[in-house]
Structure 1
Amino acid sequence: MDAELAVIGLGSIGSMALWQASRLTDSVVGFEAATPAHGRSAVGGDTRLFRMIYLGRPDYYPIIERSRGLWAELEAETGQDILTTTGGLSIGTANGSYINSLLEATRVTGAEYRVLSREEMAERYPQHNLRPDDCAVYDPRAGVLRTDRAVSAAVAAAQANGATVLQNTPVDSITETDQGVVVTSGDRTWTFEKVIVASGGWSRRLMPDHLKAVTETHRIVLTWFIAEDGTQFSPENFPAFSRWYEDRSMYGAPAVDGVTVKASVDGPLAGRARATPDPDSVPRELTREEIEKATEIVTEFFPGLIPTIARADAFPDLFTQDRHPLIGWLDQNSSIYCATGFSGKGFKMATGYGHIAAHEALGKQTIEGLDFVRPDRFKTR
């Protein structure tokens, strides 16, 4: 054996799995096709939103709770500022389906929140141009994660703990044998007891056919706009936000650079609706429709932003058929563990997912209550 465990892909989830595994064993190797936090991975785009109030199954809430604590541990271990608590605003029609769904989620999970009326919003957060029947659900523990910094910190912490990192080493195949799992890159091979596949949009190349059939690599588009007054949109004054109506939606983050505000279209007209067969060839240029839609929504929502896209980019991520990730063994007899398919919404919980993957792959712990993300859920379909 070359090592006890290999982690394939050191992006959003793989970097955290490597870090967590390095706390459990010094016999772990990470493979990265390029370099950690490289600009073409799903890590790209500077920031991701962290929210405690999550519109999804309540089963995610313990992972979110654990993730918040682990982000703090990563910061303490590396001295990096990764999670900035800004609070979070979810804006929509009072008594509409979006707001009611959020409030139902808080009742189930017990997440802390406060409802802000249109008048309170106008007083506290005048950056938002509100509709007459708007209100917001305020999440005091929400914030923004610095993605590049997080991944680089996790990889550095893993190396400090004794992990080996192989950069610029794309994995061509993984094969289970009687001697272990053989990992091949070019003309080189390694053998490991267990392997975690966490290579995001590139994971399909390493998957069995039944998982290839239920996954697609999608394109995620992000856009930024210049603030007329950067101080109004600073992390101290402008919480992370998500805003949904039937006809339009947008989410974003404050100006962490003091100038540009991330404000990206969500929903069916966002880039994440477009399948991209080759993650290495994701179209980075926005279509005319994407530009017009983002500009139109920003013009309505934010009078303090110049309604011209200052910066835009697109990144690949792996989406599953049911939009829940693939976390667990390929089957009960396999030595290959999946930690992929996060469908554009995994980063906030990346430390929690990394903890689950590392502990389960190394046989230290089996986490209960995760049947809805196990890969074998697709074998019966």
Structure 2
Amino acid sequence: MDGELAVIGLGSIGSMALWQASRLTDSVTGFEAATPAHGRSAVGGDTRLFRMLYRGNPDYYLILERSRALWAELEAETGQNILTRCGGLSIGTNNGPYLSALLDTTRATGAEHQILTREDMAERYPQHNLRDDDIAVYDPHAGALRTERAVTAAVTAAQANGATIHTNTPIDSIEETNDGVLITSGSRSWTFENVIVSSGGWSQRLMPDYLKTATQTKRIFLTWFLAKNPAEFSPDRFPIFIRISGDRSMYGAPAVDGATVKATLDGRGKPTPSADSVLRDLTPGEITETTETVTEFFPGLHPTIVRTDAFPDLFTKDGNPLLGRFSEVSRIYCATGFSGGGFKNATGYGEIAAHEALGKRPFEGLDFVRPRRYRTN
């Protein structure tokens, strides 16, 4: 037996599961096909949005609260500034479907918020060019997560706790045996008591058939623009944002590098044949829609894309993650399928996965993320 737990994939969720597991046992090993935080994974792109306001299942809120606390713990443990606490804006048509749904969820969770009129926005955040019927909802606890820094910090903390790391080690197969779970990479193999599969867009090949049919790898792209006056888009003056105004939508983050602003079309994930065949360049249609949207939304940005990125992520049919064992008796636990929205909750998901995979404690009230919801027998 080579250890109590293996974590396959040290990206957004796997790195956090490894860190959490290293707090529970000194017999945990992480496997990464490339290197942690490599730019071709869903970690790439500098930042992801952290926010307490959202539309959808109110049950996510407890995970968000725990994730927020754990981000602070990771910062304290590693001395890294991971969450830029700049607040957040949800912008949309007054009484439109987006903000109506978001406020319904906010009332259910009790999350702290402030409604800003178009006039309030013009005074406080004039960088945004709002339409006549737009308003905003301000989230005081939102911010921008520094993705590469977060993953690197978690892996470093896990190693300091005694975890073993294998980089440039793609896993070819996993198989449950009488002795545990056999992991194979090329000519090498290991056996562990339990395994967490957290390989993001690369997870499908390690899944049972019933989960393969419930998931799809999609391409997500990101874009950045130069600010005419970078000071106006600095984190202390420009919160993260999500905006859905009529037929246009965009999300983004402040100029954490002091020059470029992330401003990306929202909800444009499209299927890709495999995680290894993601189109890195934008299509002419994507370029046109992105620049037209930025031209309308942000007069203070030069309407020319100066940087792009694209990466794969695994999406489920219902948009909820896969967090749990392949079956009730399986030793393999999956933490994947986060459908483009996992990073903000990565610390919380990592804690759940580590505790449950090691049999330390179960978490209740999570039926909406359990893989068994896709089983037909």
Q: Would you say same fold, with TM above 0.5?
A: yes
Q: Contact 2:55–2:103 (CA<8 Å) still a contact in 1?
A: no
Among candidates 280, 283, 289, match of residue 285 of structure 2: 289
* Counterpart in the other structure of 2:208: 208
* Counterpart in the other structure of 1:258: 258
The answer to whether structure 1 residue 51 and structure 2 residue 61 are counterparts is no
* Counterpart in the other structure of 1:311: 307
Equivalent positions of 1:244-255 (< 5 A) are 244-255=244-255
Q: Structure 2: which amino acid aligns with 1:220?
A: I
Equivalent positions of 1:164-175 (< 5 A) are 164-175=164-175
The answer to whether structure 1 residue 300 and structure 2 residue 296 are counterparts is yes
* Counterpart in the other structure of 2:39: 39
Deviation at 1:266, TM superposition (A): 0.8
Q: Give the secondary structure class of the aligned counterpart of 1:331.
A: coil
Q: Contact 2:313–2:337 (CA<8 Å) still a contact in 1?
A: yes
Deviation at 1:245, TM superposition (A): 2.6
Equivalent positions of 1:60-99 (< 5 A) are 60-99=60-99
Among candidates 338, 343, 347, match of residue 343 of structure 2: 347
User: Which whole-Å CA distance do the structure 1 matches of 2:17 and 2:306 have between them?
Assistant: 34
Equivalent positions of 1:161-200 (< 5 A) are 161-200=161-200
* Counterpart in the other structure of 2:356: 360
Point out 4+ residue stretches in structure 1 off by more than 2 angstroms: none
* Counterpart in the other structure of 2:330: 334
Given the two structures, how large is their TM-score scaled by the length of structure 2?
Answer: 0.99
* 1:87-131 deviation line (CA, Å, top 9, x unaligned): 100001111111111111111001000000000000000000011
Among candidates 349, 370, 373, match of residue 374 of structure 1: 370
User: Which whole-Å CA distance do the structure 2 matches of 1:190 and 1:210 have between them?
Assistant: 26
User: Which whole-Å CA distance do the structure 1 matches of 2:317 and 2:54 have between them?
Assistant: 20
Is there any run of 5+ residues in structure 1 with no aligned partner, and where? none
Deviation at 1:380, TM superposition (A): 1.9
Q: Structure 1: which amino acid aligns with 2:372?
A: D
Q: Give the secondary structure class of the aligned counterpart of 1:129.
A: coil
Q: Give the secondary structure class of the aligned counterpart of 2:6.
A: strand
User: Which whole-Å CA distance do the structure 1 matches of 2:333 and 2:246 have between them?
Assistant: 38
Deviation at 1:291, TM superposition (A): 0.1
User: Which whole-Å CA distance do the structure 1 matches of 2:312 and 2:203 have between them?
Assistant: 11
User: Which whole-Å CA distance do the structure 1 matches of 2:12 and 2:35 have between them?
Assistant: 13
Q: Contact 2:93–2:246 (CA<8 Å) still a contact in 1?
A: no
TM-align CA RMSD: 0.7
Q: Structure 1: which amino acid aligns with 2:133?
A: D
Q: Contact 2:278–2:310 (CA<8 Å) still a contact in 1?
A: yes
User: Which whole-Å CA distance do the structure 1 matches of 2:97 and 2:206 have between them?
Assistant: 39
* 1:148-197 deviation line (CA, Å, top 9, x unaligned): 00000000000000000000000000000001100000000100000000
* Counterpart in the other structure of 1:9: 9
237-246 vs 116-125, which deviates more? 237-246
Given the two structures, how large is their TM-score scaled by the length of structure 1?
Answer: 0.98
Q: Contact 2:88–2:241 (CA<8 Å) still a contact in 1?
A: yes
* Counterpart in the other structure of 1:239: 239
* 1:334-371 deviation line (CA, Å, top 9, x unaligned): 00000000000000000000000000001111000011
Equivalent positions of 1:8-27 (< 5 A) are 8-27=8-27
* 1:21-67 deviation line (CA, Å, top 9, x unaligned): 00000000000000000010000000000000121211100000000
Q: Give the secondary structure class of the aligned counterpart of 2:35.
A: coil
Q: Give the secondary structure class of the aligned counterpart of 2:59.
A: helix
Q: Give the secondary structure class of the aligned counterpart of 1:30.
A: strand
Q: Structure 2: which amino acid aligns with 1:122?
A: A
Counting matched residue pairs gives: 377
User: Which whole-Å CA distance do the structure 1 matches of 2:319 and 2:104 have between them?
Assistant: 21
User: Which whole-Å CA distance do the structure 2 matches of 1:284 and 1:316 have between them?
Assistant: 10
Q: Give the secondary structure class of the aligned counterpart of 1:217.
A: strand
* Counterpart in the other structure of 1:277: 273
Q: Give the secondary structure class of the aligned counterpart of 1:71.
A: helix
* Counterpart in the other structure of 1:139: 139
Q: Structure 1: which amino acid aligns with 2:310?
A: A
* Counterpart in the other structure of 2:125: 125
User: Which whole-Å CA distance do the structure 2 matches of 1:147 and 1:226 have between them?
Assistant: 21
Q: Contact 2:323–2:334 (CA<8 Å) still a contact in 1?
A: yes
User: Which whole-Å CA distance do the structure 2 matches of 1:102 and 1:178 have between them?
Assistant: 48
Deviation at 1:246, TM superposition (A): 3.6
Q: Structure 2: which amino acid aligns with 1:14?
A: G
